[in-house]
Amino acid sequence: MPDYSIHDLGDIKLQSGQQLQKAFLAYKTYDTLDAKKSNVIVYTTPFGAQHTDTEWMIGTDMALDPNRYFIISPNMFGNGLSISPSNAPPPHDRGRFPNVTLYDNVVQQQRLLRERFGIERVQLVTGFSMGAQQAFHWGAFFPEMVERIAPICGSAKTSRHNFVFLESVKAALMADPAFRDGWFPDKPERGLRAVARAYAAWAVSQAFYREKLYEKLGFATIEDFLVNAWEVNMLCRDANNMMAMWWSWQHADISANDHYGGDLKNALGAIHARALVMPSATDCYFTVEDNRQEVRHMPNAELRPIPSIWGHRAGNPMQSPEDLKFLNGALRELLAS
């Protein structure tokens, strides 16, 4: 029995103009929508994760308290639960999955909230990484609907450096002979292992290794960490799904649409929600500096870096209780404001 629900979207027109047929959104809700439909939190998913992978932020002892809030976690397109290269019916399966933007994602997420639940107001949109990028999109496109956003370790627009980092992991996967023009008829074992090692260098900080934090996670050596934390994780993934999500990530930009016409300052200025923007102090690809420049143009935002040496992985309780405490405190404060 799956623990999530499916919302059929029908044939949708993507931002690119292309049609995606028989689209659907997988989502999970946590506890009860109140009578006024006033207690809604949208908790978005990051790259490569499904709602179950980020559930650890939800709990009665947490800011995202299901006794108090109705929390909806919509799965990002391409993550294997919502429509993705791995589960799309032909002709959009595998190597033929169309390019989907984060704009496309949030537009359909908003449909879900309206069509399925009749929700017109959202207390908070929050998420990590690409989930944070979706939170920025919610703020920019549904300002009348969103009270607060809390993007964690993510930016309103993917920076050029971040784009190049993603070029490098894509190229590593494409170097595998199983790539076969993007169809991956076999599992790209070596490519996935190469991607694992690339993430191991990028997703945690220089200080993480300096302080040997992998030992804190129970790994005896660096190689143990690379194989048993990263390779094992990456080998479970669908290569086409990753390619689809990387495309969305590389092209994330709240201003890249007819409404804002590429004017990022204008798009940031339109985010009237109270915003608490929380990069990790040591993130190597979603940097504090990128968020600092974005917050400068947001009328109602505060930049609050997480003082963490866990790099992009700041906040995961499996690793750093201090980061989690910081995040919960900040989210509680924001929700009370």
Distance in Å, CB of 160 to its own copies, minimum: 4
Q: Which is nearer to its own copies, 65 or 176 (CB)?
A: 176
Crossing angle of helices 239-250 and 189-202, in 10° steps, is 40
Nearest to 98, CA basis, from 251, 208, 211: 251
Distance CA(241)–CA(238), nearest Å, equals: 5
Contact between 176 and its own copies per CB under 8 A:
yes
Kindly name the residue from 129, 280, 308, 320 that is annotated as catalytic.
129
34 is catalytic: no
User: Which listed residue (76, 172, 254, 276) binds its own copies by CB under 8 A?
Assistant: 172
For residues 30 and 230, which CB has a smaller minimum distance to its own copies in the complex?
A: 230
Strand order in the sheet with 40-43: 5-13, 19-30, 70-74, 40-43, 124-128, 148-152, 274-277, 301-303
Q: How far is the CB of 211 from its own copies (least distance, A)?
A: 10
Quote the least distance from Cβ 246 to its own copies, whole Å. 13
Q: Could you tell me the two tokens for 97?
A: 């999955």
280 is known as an active-site residue = no
Residue from 33, 201, 235, 303 in contact with its own copies (CB under 8 A): 201
Of 92, 137, 251, 312, the catalytic one is: 312
Residue 264 CB coordination number (10 Å): 18
In sign, the C-alpha dihedral spanning 52, 205, 130, 175 is: negative
Please identify, using beta-carbon distances, which residue of 36 and 210 lies nearer to its own copies: 210
Inter-residue contact 321 to 328 (CB < 8 Å)? no
By CB under 8 A, tell whether 220 contacts its own copies: no
Distances in Å between the alpha carbon of 158 and those of 37, 246, 253, 296? 33, 11, 6, 17
CB 320, min distance to its own copies, A: 17
Asked if 36 is part of the footprint of its own copies (rule: CB under 8 A), the reply reads: no
- Contact between 233 and its own copies by CB under 8 A: the answer reads no
Nearer to its own copies, 110 or 205 (CB): 205
Nearest to 106, CA basis, from 139, 81, 129: 139
Examine the residue annotation and report whether 312 is marked as an active-site residue of this protein: yes
Instruction: Determine if 180 is a binding residue for its own copies (CB under 8 A).
Output: no
Q: Is 193 in the site for its own copies (CB under 8 A)?
A: yes
